[in-house]
Amino acid sequence: SSGVEEIMKFAKSQNDHYRDGITNAGIYHIRTSVLECINNKIKVLKRVAYGYRDLDYFFLRIRSAFRGKFTPIPTIG
């Protein structure tokens, strides 16, 4: 687990704005192609959901679009 410790050390030396992203990239190892797929799917859902008043429903739609495909990413706090 020394790799994670090195990443944490590097992340602590970085700007607060980028710290969580750097740490998550080192821990979860998700390829950029997968991230682009996720982002694109969310953008499509956003276009389809234009006019929804209930933001909670929109987030439920996002979660249902990825049900069973990805593990939930916990927040680092």
Greater model confidence, 68 or 6: 6
Output the pLDDT for position 16.
Answer: 73
Distance CA 77, CA 64 (A): 26
Token pair 């797929």 is at which residue? Answer: 37
Distance CA 71, CA 22 (A): 18
Greater model confidence, 1 or 31: 31
pLDDT > 90: percent of the chain? 5
**Average pLDDT value for the chain:** 78
Output the pLDDT for position 40.
Answer: 92
Average pLDDT over residues 16-38: 79
The model's pTM: 0.52
**36 Cβ neighbours under 8 A, 6+ residues apart:** none
